[in-house]
C-alpha cells in the first residue's frame, strides 16, 4: 500500500502565474477575485525599490481603489497584523494584495484572518483553528525563500512574549501568486543567500517529513536540484537565469512543505527568530547541518536521495555512504555563500539555550520531523553550533 487505509493526504496550492513581468497581472488578479477596494500590504524596502509604485499603477489600470499598509518588519509582529486589519475594515477593503517577502505575506495572511474571524491573532496559533474563509489574497513574492505565497502557514511574533506563533490552516492558502523573478534583482546578495537556504531547508524537511508522499516528494527533490544548480550564482552575480531557477526552486519547495509540513530545523529556528529577531533563512541555515546529522539514521534512504539531488557521486556506493555526504555538501554550500555558521556570531547567548530548547520542543514543526527530540537532545544541538 502506498498510503495507509485510514490516512487522507492533501495537496493544495494557489493558482501560479510565472514569468518576467507577471507583476503586471496584479490588478487583473485582484479584480478577478471580486476586488474593488484593495489593501496592499508591503514593507518600506519594497517602496524604495519601486515595486509598490509599479503595483499601484496596475491597480489603477483596473480602476481599483487601494490603500497601502507598509508598517511591516522582518519577523512581523502581532500588533502590525492588528493595525493592518483595522485599516482593512476602516477602508472597507474586499481583497488583500501582498507585495514583498515572507514578512509582508505573513502579515497579509494575519490581516486576512482577523478581517473575517473574531478576536486576536493569538487565538489562532496552532492547527486548523480558523473557522471563516479569509478575504481573497493575491501575492507577489520579492524573495525566493519563504514560499509563503503558496503555503498554508503564517508565522507571527507575539511581541510581549518574544515568541513566534505558527498558524497552519488551509484557509490561509493564497488564491493567486504572481512569481516575477525581476523582483529578486533589487535584493542584496546576503538576503538572496539566506532566503535560498530557507528554500533548501523547506525542501529537505518536507522530503523527510512523516507526512511526505508521492505527490510532495518530486517537488522537494526538484527544489533541491535547482538550489544546487542556481543558489551560489544567484547570490553572487544576480544573473537572471539563476534568479529564475531560484524562483522556481522556491515555488517547488513551497508546494512540498505546505503539504508535507516541516521538521526540527524549523522547530529550532523559530525561537531564534522570536527571541533575537534573527532572519528566518539565516536561522535555518545555521541549524540545518546539525539537525541533518541527527536526523540521518531516521531517514537514511531519503537522505541518499537528497545527496543525489545535491550532486553527490553515487556509483558503487552504499545508500548509507551516499546519505552521509549530505552534511558535508550543506557545509560546502554555506561556506560558498559566506553565511555565518555559529549561533554566537549572530548573538545567541549560551545561557538562553534551555529556554530556546523548551520552545523548540513544543514547536508544531517537531511533530512531522522523522524523530521527535527531547529537550536535552535539542539543547545539545544548539550547543553543537554555538
Under the rule (CB under 8 A), what is the footprint of a second copy? Answer: 1-13, 15-22, 25, 170, 213-215, 218-219, 221-222, 226, 240-241, 244-245, 248, 251-252
User: In DSSP terms, which residues pair with 38 in a beta bridge?
Assistant: 66, 95
Long-range contacts of 88-91 (CB under 8 A, 24+ apart): 88/39, 88/115, 88/135, 89/115, 91/37, 91/39, 91/67
Give whichever of 135 and 273 is closer to a second copy, judged by the CB atom.
135
Query: How far is the C-alpha of 187 from the C-alpha of 193, rounded, in Å?
Result: 10
Q: Identify which of 310, 287, 286 has the alpha carbon closest to the alpha carbon of residue 207.
A: 310
* Torsion angles phi and psi, residue 355, rounded to 5: -70, -40
CB of 268 to a second copy, least distance (A): 30
Instruction: Write down the least CB distance from residue 14 to a second copy, Å.
Output: 8
Nearest approach, Cβ of 57 to a second copy (angstroms)?
Answer: 17
Nearer to a second copy, 206 or 357 (CB): 206
Residue whose C-alpha cell reads 508598517 in the numeric block: 71
Give the residue with the Cβ less far from a second copy, 25 or 142.
25
- What letter does residue 134 receive in the DSSP assignment? P
Q: What cell does 170 get?
A: 488551509
For 56, the 3-state DSSP assignment is helix
3-class DSSP state of 82: helix
The minimum distance between CB 166 and a second copy, in angstroms, equals 21
Between 291 and 309, name the residue whose CB sits nearer to a second copy.
Answer: 309
Q: Phi-psi region for residue 381, left (φ > 0), alpha (ψ -120 to 50) or beta?
A: alpha
Contact 300, 316 (CB under 8 A): no
Residue with grid cell 536540484, as numbered in its chain: 225
CB 133 within 8 A of CB 116: yes
CA distance 252 to 246: 10
- Say if CB 342 and CB 382 are below 8 A apart: no
Residue 217 CB, shortest distance to a second copy, in Å, is 8
Nearer to a second copy, 221 or 353 (CB): 221
CB nearer a second copy, residue 42 or residue 152: 152
DSSP state letter for 18: E
Least spacing, CB of residue 378 vs a second copy, in Å: 32
Nearer to a second copy, 18 or 79 (CB): 18
Query: For 35-59, b where at least 16 C-beta lie within 10 A, e where not — what string?
Result: beebbbbbbebbeebebbebbbebb
Shortest distance, position 18 Cβ to a second copy, whole Å: 5
Specify the residue, 148 or 278, whose C-beta has the smaller distance to a second copy. 148
From the CB of 249, what's the least distance to a second copy, in Å? 9
Amino acid at each position: 500500500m502506498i498510503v495507509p487505509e485510514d490516512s487522507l493526504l492533501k495537496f493544495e496550492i494557489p493558482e501560479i502565474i510565472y514569468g518576467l513581468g507577471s507583476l503586471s497581472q496584479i490588478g487583473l488578479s485582484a479584480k478577478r477575485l471580486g476586488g474593488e477596494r484593495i489593501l496592499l500590504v508591503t514593507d518600506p524596502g519594497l517602496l524604495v525599490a519601486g515595486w509598490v509604485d509599479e503595483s499601484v499603477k496596475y491597480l489603477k489600470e483596473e480602476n481599483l481603489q487601494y490603500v497601502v499598509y507598509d508598517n511591516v518588519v522582518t519577523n512581523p509582529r502581532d500588533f502590525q497584523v492588528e493595525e493592518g486589519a483595522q485599516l482593512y475594515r476602516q477602508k472597507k477593503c474586499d481583497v488583500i494584495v501582498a507585495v514583498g517577502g515572507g514578512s509582508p505575506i505573513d502579515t497579509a495572511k494575519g490581516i486576512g484572518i482577523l478581517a473575517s474571524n473574531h478576536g486576536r491573532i493569538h487565538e489562532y496559533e496552532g492547527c486548523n483553528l480558523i473557522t471563516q474563509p479569509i478575504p481573497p489574497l493575491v501575492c507577489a513574492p520579492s524573495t525566493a525563500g519563504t514560499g509563503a505565497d503558496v503555503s498554508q502557514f503564517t508565522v507571527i511574533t507575539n511581541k510581549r512574549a518574544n515568541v513566534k506563533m505558527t498558524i497552519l490552516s488551509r484557509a490561509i492558502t493564497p488564491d493567486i501568486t504572481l512569481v516575477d523573478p525581476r523582483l529578486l534583482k533589487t535584493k542584496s546578495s546576503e538576503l538572496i543567500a539566506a532566503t535560498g537556504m530557507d528554500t533548501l531547508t523547506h525542501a529537505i524537511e518536507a522530503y523527510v517529513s512523516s507526512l511526505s508522499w508521492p505527490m510532495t516528494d518530486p517537488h522537494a527533490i526538484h527544489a533541491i536540484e535547482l538550489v544546487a544548480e542556481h543558489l551560489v550564482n544567484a547570490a553572487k552575480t544576480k544573473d537572471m537565469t539563476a534568479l529564475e531557477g531560484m524562483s522556481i526552486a522556491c515555488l517547488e519547495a513551497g508546494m512540498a512543505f505546505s503539504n508535507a509540513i516541516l521538521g526540527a530545523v524549523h522547530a529550532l529556528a523559530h525561537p531564534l527568530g522570536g527571541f533575537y529577531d534573527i532572519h528566518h533563512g539565516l536561522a535555518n541555515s545555521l541549524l540545518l547541518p546539525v539537525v541533518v546529522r541527527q536526523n540521518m539514521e531516521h531517514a537514511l534512504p531519503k537522505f541518499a536521495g537528497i545527496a543525489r539531488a545535491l550532486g553527490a557521486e553515487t556509483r558503487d556506493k552504499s545508500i548509507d555512504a551516499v546519505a552521509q555526504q549530505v552534511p558535508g555538501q550543506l557545509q560546502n554550500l554555506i561556506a560558498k555563500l559566506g553565511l555565518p555558521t555559529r549561533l554566537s556570531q549572530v548573538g545567541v547567548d549560551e545561557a538562553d539555550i534551555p529556554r530556546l530548547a523548551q520552545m523548540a520542543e513544543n514547536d508544531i514543526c517537531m511533530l512531522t520531523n522523522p524523530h521527535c527530540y527531547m529537550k536535552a537532545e535539542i539543547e545539545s544541538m544548539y550547543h553543537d553550533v554555538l
